[in-house]
Structure 1
């Protein structure tokens, strides 16, 4: 199983998980999960939801697998996220300090809210100007290095050596920032310093995103799968709760139920 997990890490493949019975094969004495669905980053970018259901076994010793893939809808603007890589930049603390110390008229929580908002907007602007697009920077650095290397091979002058070393330093720095970004986004804490397996990070991020997304709910006896209707149902409940239209006894009861599916991660023993 370790070799299988290493293969998934090296290739960036993602285990789709499953719903239904935990095992897919049996010889009437032993039960194992031998069948699973793996998908690539390209698949995940095309289909934002991939569901695998273990159907009931008939004559075969294997359970059939039903795969349901839903195409990605238009992405909504992402919310503000603090990036750990900012902490390594020498101007970060001074940038925050300058924003926070600017005076604001008002009292209490209003001043705090305005300071947080102003600092957030300043950090977004600072990030664009200081780091730009990390992934674009990595690609540009990778493209420039071979050119600098060839130029140095043809003419090993001091100027070309300095240019080559600078190109190498830029690429290493860009790769470090990229790894830091994916490590934070995947919430992976156990990898050793210097690990830059971005394919593995990306697979963890995709798996987290799938698991944290509500794909369907039960409202009464009706199953709802539309993202807009799921959002509206939840918003309606909390609007009624905050407006006092929900009784105290039902204040903790949602008007819908979340399906209880059994899922296993890629590291589950087969």
Structure 2
């Protein structure tokens, strides 16, 4: 899925349409969101969008004081979106993304803080949806002081309003790449830049589209840069590195297993001995962990079903000593599996400030997905300026780069330089 948002600042001239055509032909988005077209929908010929692969119909919001300031278009062949909520500052639509019912809120916030509060209330009212929700647009506000550069007053109250809405709606910023600032006043003297255009996703969005990312594109026409939100499944690398989990040490057999492996003698220097023993332990320890700690999600499902079966039997036949003991044992097994899952995601999330007594597995899960999306390498640029986007091409380039980097070079001797070195007895 690819969704492009662009505050184009006018679509009534040939230059703007040429830039938009170039952008759509290059990105080929599934959804296109335009802000401030500054013309009625009727003035833009429907065949213009058909020629660039978009549906000729345009969904626009309604404003009492002028033409629509938000247009929503979709790729030809996709189901037509359904408008759920619309105002002068946003549209919320129901769409199908990879066959999943989702919501997309397209935003063009007012420059006035008091008017923006109506937008924050509208977005907060949508926050209760259980399906994936993408919020994208020009918010005319920023979250941090570092998101503005140049002269001008920093409005702390505006930041607090924006932050409160994001927290209330449980939205998480989508990791961004490319340029940092999305807007500039394009002035030589008194130049101001800011992050006004951005995208967010709710918890359900991250659960469904964990490979989501945002990229700020280059703009040669508007003072706003287009932003691209794409959802691609991150391929799991075939050679996953070995990772030691700290909760393994809580197992009763862990110490004896490590002791048996470590006790086998290895000859060599102390550093060589430690390295050799660690390398020798890695394979057996991985196999031991797979047997001692089965797939946690499967183990939770198995123990939960077993507990449910026992409780159902108790409900039908009544309590007995054997059923009581079975229920206690099943509860212990189920709670143990839940605790292992929590420990695993806590280590993956790498959040050490959360208290051990807190049950926040969902938070750990979401934090890990966001970190993976942020650390994913989706594009690299070679020395000759060519960009590589395919996973296989990126992997081949890394391999060839480091092979050439560590390859033994040709060594040439310089007899004249050696002759100029004084003998040891002439050195001071």
Q: Structure 2 length normalisation: TM-score?
A: 0.48
Give the aligned partner of residue 322 of structure 2.
159
2:206 corresponds to which of 16, 21, 40: 40
- 1:1-270 maps to which residues of 2 (within 5 A)? 1=163, 4-5=166-167, 8=170, 15-19=173-177, 20-22=179-181, 33=196, 35-38=198-201, 39-44=205-210, 48=211, 50-53=213-216, 56=219, 64-73=226-235, 75-104=237-266, 106-108=267-269, 111-154=273-316, 155-219=318-382, 220-245=384-409
8 Å CA contact 1:56, 1:64 repeated in 2: yes
Paired with 2:312 and 2:220, the residues of 1 have a C-alpha distance of: 61
Paired with 1:85 and 1:133, the residues of 2 have a C-alpha distance of: 14
* Deviations, residues 171-222 of structure 1 (Å, cap 9, x unaligned): 1111111010001011111112233322221221122222222222222221
Task: Please state how far the C-alpha of 1:83 moved relative to its aligned partner.
Answer: 0.8
Paired with 2:392 and 2:193, the residues of 1 have a C-alpha distance of: 44
Structure 2: stretches of 5+ with no match in the other structure: 1-162, 186-191, 412-428
* Deviations, residues 49-72 of structure 1 (Å, cap 9, x unaligned): 63343675978x986532233344
Compare CA radii of gyration and give the structure with the larger one: 2
Between stretches 234-243 and 127-136, larger displacement belongs to: 234-243
* Residues 142 and 213 of structure 1: CA distance in aligned 2, closer, same or farther (over 3 Å): same
Paired with 2:376 and 2:410, the residues of 1 have a C-alpha distance of: 26
* Deviations, residues 235-259 of structure 1 (Å, cap 9, x unaligned): 3333333234499xxxxxxxxxxxx
Task: Please state how far the C-alpha of 1:126 moved relative to its aligned partner.
Answer: 1.4
Q: Structure 1 length normalisation: TM-score?
A: 0.72
Write 1 or 2 for the structure with the bigger share of strand.
Answer: 2
Write 1 or 2 for the structure with the bigger share of helix.
Answer: 1
* Deviations, residues 117-144 of structure 1 (Å, cap 9, x unaligned): 3211221121122111111111112222
Task: Please state how far the C-alpha of 1:14 moved relative to its aligned partner.
Answer: 5.6
* Residues 126 and 7 of structure 1: CA distance in aligned 2, closer, same or farther (over 3 Å): farther
Give the root-mean-square deviation of aligned CA atoms.
Answer: 3.4
Paired with 2:180 and 2:410, the residues of 1 have a C-alpha distance of: 37
* Residues 171 and 246 of structure 1: CA distance in aligned 2, closer, same or farther (over 3 Å): farther
Structure 1: stretches of 5+ with no match in the other structure: 248-270
Give the aligned partner of residue 32 of structure 2.
none
